[in-house]
Amino acid sequence: MPDVRDADVTEAATFANATLVLPKRVARGWVRVENGVIAGMGEGAEVPSGAQDCGGDFLAPGMIELHTDNLERHIQPRPGVDWPHAAAIVAHDAELASTGITTVFDAMRIGSIPTGRGRYVKYARSLSREMLDLRAADMLKISHFLHLRAEVCSETLAEEFSEFGREDRVGLVSLMDHTPGQRQFRDISKLAAYKKGKLGMSEAEFIEHIAELKALRERFGAAHEAATVAAAARFGAVLASHDDTTHEQVETSAGYGIRLAEFPTTAEAAQACRDHGIAVMMGAPNLIRGGSHSGNVAAEELARLDLLDIVSSDYVPAALLLAAVKLGEIWGDLPRGIATVTKAPANAVGLDDRGVLAMGKRADLMRFRVSGHVPLLRGVWSQGRQVA
């Protein structure tokens, strides 16, 4: 799934006296960038004439974000406020670049509920067209793909899938089921607190909402699961599960051909994923905060059990590099921590042109130092062009 939009990039630069974060180790050295790719590498602290002296700062691949709700926050900065979409997309793109993210799979929900109290209006098709138009106009700093979050507990999922094709850069499709009482919201009280706090639902409204969602799952669930598996195959996209909780749910995911598990809610599910060769992704906010806001398994617990492969910023873009550095400290292995936001997500979605510092790879880079356990970004480059 190559990204050739900037194949004509001609900027050249050398980054010297940097601490290179390589796949298995760190080493003082230099990187030469030409025509948007890494054209040369070597070890040593010398600074050739004209090179950028990194002063020992870390130089690592740009980060790859597979699941972020950040775009939705820009589109609707307050409940009921619809911000101009082109401006919101450009701001979202710039924010991600400023945190070291150079590739993003923008998460957009498909599967709306046009009837009943819990209405959810569809938006993914129109918003993704605007995203692709901005990309074609070279108005975006970083590389964008689509991540379609397929909600089976909905009314219109199959129809919405039919509006997308291979030309839409759909790289990831996640199979979501937010029916209350299982997966993310096994604890109904957590869902009640979320809905009442965010939407101001009364107790009676919440009870009605639960009943409506369960009825939708009963009516459409099986057909929507089948439609999601078929759509991912049609797009040539990676299929992911969402909030697997039990060994049985992971067995079902494996049967669908799922290769990535987003936010498994228990250590049992994470271990089952490992047994089936399914990569496990957890949220950076979970790791930084020390636990899940939904009361599910902590990302740090999975890290210490060696059951964590990939980290997503989820709803805090700036958390991604912070989480990677923290994992490096937990494991005593910074390259392994950085790999959870670079090499591992690239491998999970089949992007073999990025995610590591190596000859011929995209010159997606971030320069940073760490002070008091906090990473400080000094620069970000996408295909050799400085974007932050």
Residue 191 has pLDDT above 90, yes or no: no
* Dihedral over alpha carbons 63, 69, 74, 79 (to 10 degrees): -160
Fold for domain 1-61+354-388? Urease, subunit C; domain 1 (2.30.40)
Q: For residue 185, name the pLDDT band (cuts at 50, 70, 90).
A: low
With H, G, I as helix, E, B as strand and everything else as coil, classify residue 316: coil
Nearest to 131 by CA among 91, 175, 160: 91
Residue 47 has pLDDT above 60, yes or no: yes
Within a 10 A sphere around the Cβ of 229, how many other Cβ atoms? 18
CA distances from 95 to 217, 325, 388 (A): 36, 20, 9
Q: What is the CA radius of gyration of the chain?
A: 21
Per-residue confidence (pLDDT) for residue 119, from 0 to 100: 65
Per-residue confidence (pLDDT) for residue 5, from 0 to 100: 47
Residue 180 has pLDDT above 70, yes or no: no
How far, in Å, CA of 133 to CA of 143, rounded? 13
Mean pLDDT is highest, among 176-180, 214-218, 368-372, for 368-372
Per-residue pLDDT of 155-178, as tens digits, reads 889 999 999 999 999 999 999 886
Q: For the residues 334-352, what does the mean pLDDT come to?
A: 98
Per-residue confidence (pLDDT) for residue 177, from 0 to 100: 83
Per-residue confidence (pLDDT) for residue 40, from 0 to 100: 97
Per-residue confidence (pLDDT) for residue 216, from 0 to 100: 75
Per-residue pLDDT of 236-259, as tens digits, reads 999 999 999 999 999 999 999 999
Q: For the residues 377-387, what does the mean pLDDT come to?
A: 97
Q: For the residues 78-95, what does the mean pLDDT come to?
A: 94
How far, in Å, CA of 113 to CA of 224, rounded? 13
Per-residue confidence (pLDDT) for residue 371, from 0 to 100: 95
Q: 40-51: string of b/e by CB count within 10 Å (b at 16+)? A: ebeeeeebeeeb
Per-residue confidence (pLDDT) for residue 247, from 0 to 100: 95
Considering the chain, what is the average pLDDT of its residues? 90
Is domain 63-350 classified as CATH 3.20.20.140? Answer: yes
How far, in Å, CA of 272 to CA of 294, rounded? 21
**Running DSSP on this structure, what letter comes out for residue 141?**
S
Same fold, 1-61+354-388 and 63-350: no
Q: For the residues 197-217, what does the mean pLDDT come to?
A: 68
**Running DSSP on this structure, what letter comes out for residue 185?**
G
Per-residue confidence (pLDDT) for residue 212, from 0 to 100: 76
How are strands ordered across the β-sheet holding 260-262? Answer: 63-68, 101-110, 143-151, 170-176, 238-242, 260-262, 279-283, 310-312
> Of residues 267 and 192, which shows the higher confidence score?
267
Domain boundaries, the chain: 1-61+354-388, 63-350
Per-residue confidence (pLDDT) for residue 4, from 0 to 100: 46
**Running DSSP on this structure, what letter comes out for residue 154?**
S
> Of residues 1 and 384, which shows the higher confidence score?
384
Q: For residue 7, name the pLDDT band (cuts at 50, 70, 90).
A: very low
**346 contacts 64 by C-beta, under 8 angstroms:** yes
Residue 208 has pLDDT above 80, yes or no: no
Residue 195 has pLDDT above 60, yes or no: no
Phi, psi of 285 (to 5 degrees): -60, -35
Per-residue confidence (pLDDT) for residue 358, from 0 to 100: 98
Residue 99 has pLDDT above 50, yes or no: yes
Per-residue confidence (pLDDT) for residue 155, from 0 to 100: 86
How far, in Å, CA of 11 to CA of 5, rounded? 15
Phi, psi of 333 (to 5 degrees): -155, 90
Per-residue confidence (pLDDT) for residue 111, from 0 to 100: 85
**Running DSSP on this structure, what letter comes out for residue 113?**
B
**Running DSSP on this structure, what letter comes out for residue 58?**
E
For the ranges 2-6, 105-109, 134-138, 203-207, the lowest mean pLDDT is seen at 2-6
Residue 385 has pLDDT above 90, yes or no: yes
Q: For the residues 53-82, what does the mean pLDDT come to?
A: 94
Q: 258-291: string of b/e by CB count within 10 Å (b at 16+)? A: bbbbbbbbbebbbbbbbebebbbbbbbbbbbeee
